[in-house]
Structure 1
Amino acid sequence: MKYYRNTQTDLIHAFEQDGSQDSLITEDFIQLTAEETDKLLNPERYLSDEEKEQIHLSSFPSLTRRQFKLALLDNDLLNTVEASIETIKDPIMKQRVQIEYSESERFERSNEAVQFMLGILNIPLSKVDEMWSSATKF
């Protein structure tokens, strides 16, 4: 395939390499460079580490409060999380995390408060991922 950007619409169009569709390529089309084509076909190569991490976190399903707490309990972390929330020094952050923890109906892996709570535990992210995945079975 060869790829062109329509300068009028800014849309990308793909045409057969064999020239069978060349009649459709008008003066409004500019062929993409090799780098632009690679970015189009392989966008993950151009993501920052932060963007890759966000994609990774968003790939996990949300957990119900029940699933989240059972996962903590099964990993002997429920009391640790609850006690750790009480030790948060910043009063605003403490209240925010308490509200998120006690009032949320669902827990998103990418949520800032969830990240904070999991960070308190100081366990490897691979273990958190494993816990999260197994919690979906509760």
Structure 2
Amino acid sequence: MKYFRNIQTDLIHAFEQDGSQDELITEDFIQLTEEEKDRLLNPERYLTDEEKEQIYLSNFPALTRRQFKLALLDNGLLNTVEASIEAIKDPIMKQRVQIEYSESERFERGNPSVKYMMDELNLNLEEVDKLWDYALHL
């Protein structure tokens, strides 16, 4: 395939390599460079580490409050989480995390407050993944 960007609409168009559609290519079309073509066809190669992490975390199903708290309890972390929340010095962050922890019906793996809690527990990514997987089966 040959890939072109329409400079009027900014849309990308693909045409057969054999030239059978060349009459459709007007002066409004500019052929993509090899890098642009690669970015179009393989966007995952160009993701930032943060984008890759967000995609990874989004693959985890949300936990119910019950699953989340039972997993913490069963792993000896429930009291530690609650004490860690109480010990947060920044009053805004403390309130935010308290609200997220006590009011959320579902806990999402990529939620900043969940990440904050897990960081406070000094859990690495693998440990959090195991905890999450355990909770999913409760």
Q: Structure 1, residues 43-85: CA drift from partner, whole Å, max 9, x if none?
A: 1211211121122222222111111112212322112111211
Structure 1: state its 5+ residue gaps.
none
- Alignment match, 1:94: 94
Give the whole-Å Cα distance in 1 for the aligned partners of 2:70 and 2:56. Answer: 23
- Alignment match, 1:44: 44
Relative to the length of structure 1, the TM-score reads 0.91
Percent identical residues: 78
- Alignment match, 1:27: 27
- Alignment match, 1:78: 78
- Alignment match, 1:14: 14
Residue 5 of structure 1 deviates from its aligned partner by: 0.7
Give the whole-Å Cα distance in 2 for the aligned partners of 1:135 and 1:19. Answer: 56
Q: Structure 1, residues 89-122: CA drift from partner, whole Å, max 9, x if none?
A: 2222112111110011111111111111111110
Give the whole-Å Cα distance in 2 for the aligned partners of 1:32 and 1:75. Answer: 53
Q: Structure 1, residues 113-137: CA drift from partner, whole Å, max 9, x if none?
A: 1111111110111111222133222
Give the whole-Å Cα distance in 1 for the aligned partners of 2:15 and 2:129. Answer: 41
Please state if 1:125 is matched with 2:108. Answer: no
Relative to the length of structure 2, the TM-score reads 0.91
> Which stretch shifts more, 62-71 or 33-42?
62-71
Q: Give the AA of the match of 2:115.
A: Q
- Alignment match, 1:64: 64
- Alignment match, 1:107: 107
Aligned length: 138
Give the whole-Å Cα distance in 1 for the aligned partners of 2:113 and 2:83. Answer: 15
Give the whole-Å Cα distance in 1 for the aligned partners of 2:69 and 2:18. Answer: 58
Q: Please tell me the root mean square deviation across aligned C-alpha atoms, in Å.
A: 1.4
Give the whole-Å Cα distance in 2 for the aligned partners of 1:117 and 1:18. Answer: 57
- Alignment match, 2:4: 4
